[in-house]
Structure 1
Amino acid sequence: MATSTLGPLVRLWGLHTEQLPPPSATADELTPLLVAILQEAVPFIDSAAPKEAPNSKADPRLWKPKGNHAHADSKARVEVLERIIPAAELEKVKGSSQGKVKAETWCCRRSVHEDREETGSASWDEFVACFREHHAESEKAFTPACLDAHEALRWDCSGVVVDDVQEGGVAWTGLQLRVEEMRHRIGKPVLKDRTFPVLQVTASSSSSSSSSAAAAAADGDEFVVVSIPVPDFGEASDRSKLAKEKGAQIAFYVSVERIRKTSDGRIEWLMATASDAAGVLPAWVQNLAAPGVIWKDVPLFLGWVARERQKEEQPDGEEQRNGGREAAPQASSTGAEADDDVSAVSDVAN
């Protein structure tokens, strides 16, 4: 198991726009940042479900169980964990631009699914298409509270050499680096919508037998998605669309997501996040509610992808199934009924 060492990058305080690479940055200029982010993110997420530990049990010194949930749209149960990182630990890694820091409360969910295109589960190809290739579009499509998504900036990572990015015992390739802006509804009319600008890194495990970086990523059996807040992006960048809108309430979230094939042929879906909705909503209220919310993404996605398959199977549909999902899902597929479905749950506290 990789050592879970905290760092200054994958943090809720985020990055300033001036810390981002220039849009024209070369592979050599991008590589140090990508390596540094993976060096923090990969060991951190592995501590919640170590690949080398029996049954991938979390390190009990770090992560505490917060429940185990079932839903009709998911054949797999969803385990929820929580980790509180004290302010004293974060003080050791903060940069000179940070003032007084607060403790971070991270929530994590873990579920293990059959690699099948069937109700209550999803195939590896579907996970890759929806979360590695089209993460923001997919989130907007299956999450009723996600109102808008905008890719503001993307860097060309095609020249990043596979051997230059190795962490957690895995060689990483197929790297992607972008700034995404997401807008979420959190409680209208009482609370304003929140806009989240994030720097997002995607990396795939490498197949050493493949002849190119693209082929290596396609053949890999694991990928990670890391999102880091860029709270001043709307003010500091002309690439912004959502964050720069008048009256936009900027909020923060940091997350590390890992999706991988397990040794028995199933798919583990692991995601840890810390967030701050800012505004008038107290942090303690948000932290108290988070364990009861984070797990619902699993049935939301699986219910949505099942409905998408049904649409593709219709003889008069615009698309026919071809064994994989090549196009990004459309936001119009999302309906309010998905939110209603998830409210009918069976929760079992550990």
Structure 2
Amino acid sequence: MATDYSEAKLTITPLKPSEIPEEELIFQASEALIDSCTSWKPGKTYFKVVKTFSKSKGPNDGAPWHCRVSVHKQDEATFDQMWEKLGTDKPTNEMQFIHEIRKVTKVKEISSISPPVSPRVFTELQITRLSSESPRTGFVISLPIDLSSPEDAELAKIEEKGVKGRYVSIERIVELEDGSTEWRMATSSTPGGSIPTFLAESSMASKISEDVPHFMKWLHGLPKTETPTEG
């Protein structure tokens, strides 16, 4: 039976700030979704370590879902190193290793990021949670936000201008028993504008997989004083 994530608003339908569900509901639904993603249709493995999966658009989904899963040994990246860069100011850090992101603007807890094809703006609410219980687990959840209501006019003034794209994503890192870190990311998105859906969907698995080696290359290129160590 397909899981209905619509109650927690895990869809590409943008939320008005007043419609944001309770955080606990969002996290519960996100955990269920990210746990289930390895049961989706398996796709290609990229860079020898990044496995991909996909799920067709369901009745309450705005678009299909895509997932990537990779496991990283401690000598590649520790849990603390990954959480420091993925769980803290993630949009700004992403701009350093995802070249399509040209600008990040923080609007309270909302950030706008724009890829290159005539400016695309993705206005997102980002929620993070770190659990120190074993196994240590970190979540980063992004939900699309709509600032068009009159009561959100002040926030809308800060929002970047351009064609509105939308995405929802759940990112989770888990510290495994051997000290390795599993990194999962599931996303559903639409670029908006005139880009054909089939074109965006056909390249999604490879695009989200590229983020893994790009992140690792960026992490290892940081000055040693900027690279966090295990506490």
Give your verdict on TM over 0.5. yes
What is the aligned partner in structure 2 of residue 197 from structure 1? 123
Q: Give unpaired runs (5+ residues) of structure 2.
A: none
Q: How far does the alpha carbon of each residue in 1:283-337 deviate from its partner, in whole angstroms, 9 at most, with x for none? A: 12111121121100001001111111xxx25xxxxxx367539xxxxxxxxxxxx
Q: Summarize the Cα distance change of 1:268–1:260 in structure 2 as closer, same or farther, 3 Å threshold.
A: same
Using the alignment, how far apart are the partners of 2:26 and 2:3 within structure 1?
13
CA contact (8 A) 2:84 2:228 kept: no
Specify the alignment match of 2:5 in structure 1.
6
Shift of 1:237: 3.5
The answer to whether the 8 A contact 2:12-2:62 is kept is no
The residue aligned with 2:136 is 221
Instruction: Work out the CA distance in 2 between the residues paired with 1:80 and 1:322.
Output: 28
SS of the equivalent of 2:13 reads coil
Q: Which residue identity does 1:202 align to in structure 2?
A: T
Report how far residue 241 of structure 1 moved: 5.5
Note if 1:146 corresponds to 2:101.
Answer: yes
The match for 1:345 is none
Number of matched pairs:
228
Conservation of the 8 A alpha-carbon contact between 1:249 and 1:279: yes
Q: For residues 128 and 17 of structure 1, do their structure 2 counterparts lie closer, same or farther at Cα, with a shift above 3 Å needed?
A: same
- The aligned residue for residue 330 of structure 1 is none
Instruction: Render the CA deviation track for 1:144-180: whole Å, top value 9, x for unaligned.
Output: 1110112211xxxxxxxxxxxxxxxxxxxxxxxx222
Q: Which stretches of structure 1, 4 residues or longer, exceed 2 Å deviation after superposition?
A: 3-8, 17-20, 231-237, 239-245, 320-325
Question: What is the RMSD computed on CA atoms of the aligned residues?
Answer: 2.5
**1:238 matches 2:193:** no
Q: Larger Cα Rg: Structure 1 or Structure 2?
A: 1
DSSP-derived class of the 1:258 partner: strand
In structure 2, the partner of 1:108 is 67
Match of 1:64 in 2: 41
One-letter code aligned to 2:19: Q
In the alignment, the residues of structure 2 paired with residue 6 and residue 321 of structure 1 have an alpha-carbon distance, to the nearest angstrom, of: 38
Compared CA separation, residues 233 and 140, structure 1 to 2 (3 A): farther
Q: Deviation digits for residues 215-263 of structure 1, max 9, x if unmatched?
A: xxxx871011111101335973312456353xx1111010000001012
The 8 Å contact of residues 114 and 266 in structure 1, kept in 2 or not, is answered as: yes
Q: 1:44 corresponds to which residue?
A: 33
| Deviations 1:129-151 (CA, angstroms, capped at 9, x unpaired) | 10111211111111111101122
Distance of 1:282 and 1:249 partners within structure 2: 14
Structure 1 residue aligned with 2:49: 77
Distance 1:86 1:181 in 2: 27
1:77 partner amino acid: V
Q: Secondary structure at the match of 1:133?
A: coil
Mapped partners of 1:270, 1:113: distance in 2: 11
Please report the TM-score for the alignment, with normalisation by the length of structure 2: 0.88
Percent of paired sites with the same residue: 24
C-alpha displacement of 1:270: 0.3
Within-5 A mapping of 1:257-296? 257-296=171-210
User: What does 1:21-40 align with in structure 2 at a 5 Å threshold?
Assistant: 33-40=22-29
- Distance change >3 Å, CA 244–CA 151, structure 1 → 2: closer
The 1:127/1:237 distance shift into structure 2, 3 A limit, reads farther
Deviation readout 1:42-99 (Å, 9 max, x if unpaired): 1011112xxxxxxxxx22xxx11110011xxxxx610011111323xx1xxxxxxxxx
Taking a change above 3 Å as real, the CA distance of residues 151 and 322 of structure 1, as seen in their structure-2 partners, is closer
